[in-house]
Structure 1
Amino acid sequence: MRVLLVGGGGREHALAWALSKSPLLSELWAAPGNAGIAEHAECVPIAAEDVAGLVAFARERAVDLVVPGPEAPLTAGLADACAAAGIRCFGPSAAAARLEGSKSFAREVADAAGVPGPRWRRFDDPAAARANVREQGVPIVVKADGLAAGKGVVVAATVAEAEAAIADIMESRVHGAAAGASVVVEECLIGEEVSFFALCDGEAALPLGAAQDHKRVGEGDTGPNTGGMGAYSPPPAFTDALRDEAMARIVRPALAEMARRGAPFRGVLFAGLMLTASGPRLIEFNVRFGDPECQALMLRLRSDLLGALLAACDGRLAETGLRWDAGHSLVVVMAARGYPGAYAKGSAVRNLDRAAAVPRARIFHAGTRAGPGGAVLADGGRVLGVGATGGTLREAYEAAYEAAAAVDWPEGFYRRDIGHRALR
């Protein structure tokens, strides 16, 4: 099969690596890709948001399947454009992608489906949002209603922090005009947070696995939220019984509600869950693989990823199963100093071969580009995902951190406590 992978981050490198192992694959392209993805695919200079350019390329090269990594092309209608061109696309329509494109829409769907979640309200007026925060008290969660690249959520411990978040999102528009047109203010759920993924074909759903992400930039889960500073899989707190409950009470009811609305969901549904004393409750839906969670999951997947994605596209999930490594995986994100704020690009990242030589380790490129003479240059905020597997989480942790320490990149930093709650 001829496959076009869309995106150029660590998630896409993990997907490219997994897809490259499929016996079904004959040719793999990535748009735009990165320096690491180029080891597995031919990179083409088409932006992930260039829907027309992606479809034109897919038609020209007789692509059999388009696999979008990030959410932006899905909310922009990539799956719809592929369908119109007669090309299979592993991802939801623009109408179904609103589950991530609008936090308030996702809450409306969840409420209609009876999915357990927090109390919430949407506000178009910042003064009204601030008044609600003062009325509800803290801790409280403030979310940009639109897409914010995983950074539009503030868990506020004080009223002043919540009001500052509302000002940043709605008045300063730090996440863009569309994302900040409104905010969703939610009850702060208490418990253990888990990222749970399910493959969906519009009707059936298949559990794809779970991971635990570390969103805060600093050790001990301190500082601002990021796109993710590391992840591990599987989370010990997410038992098989909780997985089954999440499928029965959250994933399948949401799928049924989307089908009822005439927007059946096909692709990977990412349910951010809080494991509370009363069971799993929905924090939010996303419509793509998480990053860095995808890296942790792909390290453990033993099934043919391409075959599973095709089954979701073709409505054959009911006859599909997945096999997983019985061990553990852990991924440490190396980011440019200053992230998630301003950071510099262009510094050289050295000794990647030495890091990759650590037993059971694997390096995923997130924000890199090729430089002169085969150099690898930092080209983003999150630059590398340094992952490893192990029979225990401790073994995976030690291998991943041994590999991270081997990387020579003074301009970067990483947390040294990924997996700390589970390891305790």
Structure 2
Amino acid sequence: MNVLLLGSGGREHALAWKLAQSSGMGQFYALPGNPGIAELAEPVEGIALSAHDTLVRWCLDHAIDLVVVGPEAPLVAGLVDRLSDAGIAAFGPTAAAARLEGSKLFTKELCRANGIPTAAFGRFTKAEDAAAYVKHEGAPIVVKADGLMAGKGVVVAQTVEEAIEAIEQVFASGGAEVLVEAFMEGEEASLFCLVDGETVVSFGSAQDHKRAFDGDLGPNTGGMGAYSPAKVLTAELEREAIERIVKPTAKAMADAGTPYRGILYAGLILTADGPKLIEYNCRFGDPECQVLMPRFTGDLLETLNAVAHGRLAEVSLTWSDAAAITIAYASRGYPGAHQTGSEIKGLEAAAAVEGVLVFQAGTKRLGAQILSNGGRVLNITATGPTLKIARDRAYEAAGLIDWPDGFYRRDIGWRALG
């Protein structure tokens, strides 16, 4: 099969690493890719992910059998619809199905209509109405901007004043509507499910670390690290989440004539009343994908192609018993203003540590040099027979990287190991 992978981050490097192992792989391309991905797939240059017509023509010219869409923005923008119209198979949901991530309000209304457990909420088009709701409900309370926010459009306000400030910020930045949710107590976990419209199959669990600094302090980020499996999400809780949350969602989407096909990433909170949905993502998580791929022992290309063609029930998924952990090595200042373009050394030494993979995220190549080119720049990933061994390996590898302009958290996995 000829395959095109879309995206340029650590998630896509992890997907490329696993896809390249498939015996069914023919020509393998990546658009735009990164220096790490370029060692596995031929880079495609000069086409923007938003240039759907140009991208479709390129796929037809290169006899692409499957397009694997990494990031969420092209999915929400309808790229899969455009590919489908041209007869090109794609792994990822249509625009109508991707509303599960593209609109938090759409998902909350779907949950309410189908009895799917989630936080009580209000939706508002005026700041003063949202503020009045917050004053009535009290704090802590959660304020969310609708739409794609790269994992950072959420404020867990500890005071009424903080919540009102967050509401005002949403509207000041051009938001048309704001979502205000009840605060839910419990530990968070990420559950991944493959869905082909009808069939729902678990694709593992993870727990990520959103805050920038040790001790879960500092601003929210796209994710500073993750580990898998998430021990807090027991087999019993996972089954409950699939039966009460994911399967009813898949059925509701199919019944509406917008069946979901792709990976459905359920952000869960494990409350005293059982798992509840925080939000959905319509793609592999980043950095969660980086800990799922090393544990998955099946044929990823075969699996994603089966989902794209509605044949998920025919595929057998197999997993390693190993634990996996990943550490995001980020540019100093991230998620705020940060410099790019500094050289990163020691990548080969880090990758030589037993059980370690170094996935590149925000990098670029200049001759023989690898330079920083983003906020989250590297994902130092390790596997091991226990999470502690995996963690020790990852931090040993991180310590071998010579990049003064970078930083990383030193407590990834603390919830499971503390």
Q: Report the alpha carbon displacement of residue 28 of structure 1 after superposing the two structures with TM.
A: 1.1
Amino acid in structure 1 at the alignment position of 2:406: G
Partner of 1:237: 232
**More moved, 210-219 vs 41-50:** 41-50
Alignment of 1:379-418 (within 5 A): 379-418=373-412
Alignment of 1:95-106 (within 5 A): 95-106=96-107
Alignment of 1:297-312 (within 5 A): 297-312=292-307
SS of corresponding position for 2:218: strand
Counterpart-to-counterpart distance in 2, 1:362 and 1:330? 10
Counterpart-to-counterpart distance in 1, 2:294 and 2:170? 36
Amino acid in structure 2 at the alignment position of 1:120: F
**More moved, 162-171 vs 190-199:** 162-171
Q: Report the alpha carbon displacement of residue 159 of structure 1 after superposing the two structures with TM.
A: 1.9
Amino acid in structure 2 at the alignment position of 1:224: P
Counterpart-to-counterpart distance in 2, 1:89 and 1:196? 22
SS of corresponding position for 1:14: helix
Partner of 2:312: 317
Amino acid in structure 2 at the alignment position of 1:22: S
Runs (5+) with no aligned partner, structure 2? none
Q: Report the alpha carbon displacement of residue 67 of structure 1 after superposing the two structures with TM.
A: 0.4
Counterpart-to-counterpart distance in 2, 1:218 and 1:159? 25
Partner of 1:170: 171
Partner of 1:152: 153
Partner of 2:42: 42
Q: Is the 8 A contact 1:51 1:76 kept in 2?
A: no
2:347 aligned residue (338, 343, 352): 352
Amino acid in structure 2 at the alignment position of 1:36: G
Alignment of 1:366-385 (within 5 A): 366-371=361-366, 373-385=367-379
CA shift digits 1:373-406 (9 cap, x unpaired): 3111111110000000010000010000111111
**More moved, 312-321 vs 208-217:** 312-321
1:208 aligned residue (183, 198, 203): 203
Runs of 4+ residues over 4 Å off in structure 1: none
Alignment of 1:192-341 (within 5 A): 192-341=187-336
Counterpart-to-counterpart distance in 2, 1:239 and 1:95? 32
When the two chains are superposed, the root-mean-square deviation of aligned CA atoms in Å is 1.0
Counterpart-to-counterpart distance in 2, 1:124 and 1:50? 32
SS of corresponding position for 2:306: helix
Q: Is the 8 A contact 1:112 1:257 kept in 2?
A: no
SS of corresponding position for 2:293: helix
CA shift digits 1:130-159 (9 cap, x unpaired): 222222111111111111111111111122
Partner of 1:19: 19
SS of corresponding position for 1:418: coil
Amino acid in structure 2 at the alignment position of 1:313: A
**1:423 is aligned to 2:413:** no
Counterpart-to-counterpart distance in 1, 2:7 and 2:107? 24
SS of corresponding position for 1:299: coil
Counterpart-to-counterpart distance in 1, 2:409 and 2:33? 26
Amino acid in structure 1 at the alignment position of 2:104: K
Amino acid in structure 1 at the alignment position of 2:130: A
Q: Is the 8 A contact 1:119 1:187 kept in 2?
A: yes
Counterpart-to-counterpart distance in 1, 2:237 and 2:371? 42
Q: Report the alpha carbon displacement of residue 310 of structure 1 after superposing the two structures with TM.
A: 1.1
Q: Report the alpha carbon displacement of residue 52 of structure 1 after superposing the two structures with TM.
A: 2.2
CA shift digits 1:141-190 (9 cap, x unpaired): 1111111111111111122222222222221x1xxx4xx22111111111
SS of corresponding position for 1:149: coil
State TM-score, norm by structure 1: 0.97
State TM-score, norm by structure 2: 0.98
Q: Report the alpha carbon displacement of residue 35 of structure 1 after superposing the two structures with TM.
A: 1.1
SS of corresponding position for 2:349: helix
CA shift digits 1:252-295 (9 cap, x unpaired): 10000001111000000010000111111000011000000000
